Amino acid sequence: MKKLLLKLNRLFLFTLLILFGMKSAAQVNISFPEVLFTDMQTIAKGGSSNTIMNRLVALVDNTPAGQSIHISIYMINYQPLMDALKNAEARGVNLHIIVDMSRSDPQITNASSLPWLQTNLPNSEIVVTTNDVSPNAINHHKQALFSGVTTTSGLVSNVTFQTSHNFTNSDMGKIQDALVFNEADIYQAFLANWNVMKQNAASGMRVNFVYTAHDFAAINTKLAFFPRIVAGTHDGVDNILESLNAITDVANAKVRIAMSDWTDSRPAIVDKLIALRNQGATIEVYAKDAAGTQTKAKLNQLKTLGATVRIFNLSTDGQAVFNIHAKMMLIEGTWNGQANAKVILTGSHNYTDAALKTNNEVLVTLLNSPLFNAYDTYFNSFNSITPTLQLLAWNFNTLNTSGSEASFLSTHTTGGLFNATLLRGTGFRANGLSKGLGAVKDVAKNATMSTTKAMAMANEDYFEFDLSTKPGKKVSLNSLDYVVRRSSTAAPKTGAWMYVVEENGVKGEPQAITTTDITFTNGPTLNAGFQQAPVDLSQVAALQNIPFGKKVYLRLYFWGATTSTSTFGLGPYGVNNSNSVVLNGDVAEDETS
């Protein structure tokens, strides 16, 4: 009787786990298929976008007890995901995880995370891959397969999550895409490849792996699992070239590419793009300066033919970095004999020899997918995006200011620029503002209170900093962030940012940046200082491509004080551990100098 009661108790507890065992997170609200992208504007400003990782964590969190998750990943160290996997195992989810350790990149990134997974997931299957197709071959997959996920519509089976995004912190700072399906055919194809990977994880990939392609015509989806080898030998076919060769009615076709790695080992791809452009096709290519030398030369040739080509900076030489890690192509036109086709090619497959012949990769091809419009919108942003970085910044906490100093050198100056000086105009004198730059009306000079912008300009009531490039450089300004502190409602309440250009030692007249004046905003505590709305500088022609020898001064004029003793300043009152003034933009080589 006791044994029967014990079994019943266990059954009851298992039922509770199934019903209530998931982490107390909202059920996944998702429509299939789904595409996600990292936020391009955030990435362009040097930030991180957790959109894709958040979705993956949510899928893990909503996988109920008794279901299975199969993961194959090149690099992993994102702790929220690893914690979610730990919680999943604890509630009874069956975990099967392949982690690559084939060469230095994953060996470094996974050095701590792999032991963590092995220690904290004692009841899960952790498989380590060392691809032996070649000395530099890798398991480049980034995917997770869910046998079942609880969504707002109920339990959904056969969920496939495929992305260009490594499961790492650093990859959140790159351009990425991710697809989520709940098609049984897609799930089973990925699962079959996962099992092949497991069987040849330690060795045997070169001998045993067979290139596999699936064409699920009913759902307009093709999958190709690489390397493209049979018995260790490449069959001579290039999938990307195949897709480009499938374009007919070329003059009305459109091809768009955003590519992470593009080496000189597959010249036929860019050669085909040049041929298509010569026949009238519309071509857009977005790549990185890490591409092969010959590839970049041919992309520039493509640009001279009228194609849209942007090669983004990836080096850390003082220029803004914009890292495309996605591997995407869009084709519009007649393709494989089908008119008005809209084709998406994506996955983990770079335009490299390794991706084709040695690495474990996947290429997903979607024909006339409902996701095409989302890709189209995302691609449209590539042509206008402006990568930026902090050009200049002032951190008054680092300077440990009293607020009464005459001037301050920038605490951050990017490469290619000279250090800048922040100071007051002569209409205001120094006044104490701990961890800030304080000012009060200089009545000894002029007791008249400025009530208009014209008066503030005449009385020289402003804060100012300078900007100048080093030889061989040019700078373009994008935005300005700043914090204002008013000691009371009697302090200046209105302002305007303006700029002055100096050439050959001669300063021009102050010029407006915006057509409307600024009404300074306050936080809950008036004298604590408050972050103001960013100032857009990107549309001011005179502030773009500023060369060596030209100096620019940015001035914040202010007016509207009702007493001469009220303090106006930059930076919060008291301790401030962040930048109070930040100028954003980009520095580039000046090829005309």
- Residue corresponding to tokens 């920038």: 410
Rounded to two decimals, the pTM is: 0.83
- Please tell me the predicted confidence (pLDDT) of residue 14: 43
**pLDDT over threshold 60, residue 1:** no
321-377 pLDDT, tens per residue? 899 999 999 999 999 999 999 999 999 999 999 999 999 999 999 999 999 999 999
Mean pLDDT over all residues of the chain?
92
Give residue 591's pLDDT: 77
The whole-number pLDDT of residue 316 equals 60
Average pLDDT for 306-326:
87
Cβ atoms of 469 and 587 closer than 8 Å: yes
Confidence of residue 25 (pLDDT cuts 50, 70, 90): low
**Closest to 319 measured CA to CA, from 585, 587, 92:** 587
∠ CA 32-247-306, nearest 5°, is 105
Lowest average pLDDT, out of 5-9, 174-178, 542-546, goes to 5-9
- CA proximity to 174, closest of 387, 371, 345: 387
Q: Lowest-pLDDT range, 151-165, 268-282, 376-390?
A: 376-390
Contact status, residue 212 vs residue 69, Cβ threshold 8 Å: no
| Model pLDDT, residue 13 | 40
Contact of 425 with 456, CB cutoff 8 Å: no
Residue 21 confidence class, pLDDT cut points 50, 70, 90: very low
Closest CA to 65 of 13, 122, 120, 25: 13
Looking at residue 590, what is its pLDDT? 85
* Partner residues linked to 466 by β-bridges: 553
β-bridge partners, 229? 234
User: What is the structure's pLDDT at 262?
Assistant: 98
At 239-286, the pLDDT tens digits run 999 999 999 999 999 999 999 999 999 999 999 999 999 999 999 999
What phi, psi does 474 have (nearest 5°)?
Answer: -135, 155
Is pLDDT of 398 > 90? no
DSSP 176-231: -EEEEE--HHHHHHHHHHHHHHHHTSSS-HHHH-EEEEEEEGGGTEEEEEEEEEET
Query: What is the SS3 assignment for 348-380?
Result: CCCECHHHHHCCEEEEEEEECCCCHHHHHHHHH
Q: Look up residue 157 and give its two tokens.
A: 């089976």
Locate 317 and state its tokens. Answer: 């030489």
Asked whether the predicted pLDDT for residue 95 surpasses 80, the reply is yes
Measured distance CA(389)–CA(180) in Å, rounded? 33
Decide if pLDDT at 22 tops 90: no
Hey, which bits of 395-508 come out as E strands? 407-409, 412-413, 421-424, 428-430, 437-441, 462-467, 473-486, 494-503, 506-507
Contact 99, 127 (CB under 8 A): yes
CA angle 378, 380, 381 (to 5 degrees): 70
Question: What φ, ψ does residue 256 adopt, rounded to 5°?
Answer: -130, 135
Q: Give the span between the Cα atoms of 409 and 419, in whole angstroms.
A: 7
pLDDT of residue 294 exceeding 80, the answer is: yes
Per-residue pLDDT for 10 more than 70? no
**495 within 8 A of 559, measured Cβ to Cβ:** yes
Single-letter amino acid, residue 568? F
Q: Is pLDDT of 206 > 50?
A: yes
The whole-number pLDDT of residue 593 equals: 64
Six-digit token pair at 523? 């936080």
Q: What is the DSSP string of 478-495?
A: EEEEEEEEESSTTS--EE
DSSP SS3 for 9:
helix
Question: Which of 283 and 14 is assigned the larger pLDDT?
Answer: 283
Task: Report pLDDT for 212.
Answer: 98
Whether residue 525 has pLDDT greater than 90? no
Longest CA span, the chain? 100
CA distance 195 to 191: 6
Residue pLDDT, tens place only, 431-468: 877 788 889 999 888 888 999 999 999 999 999 999 99
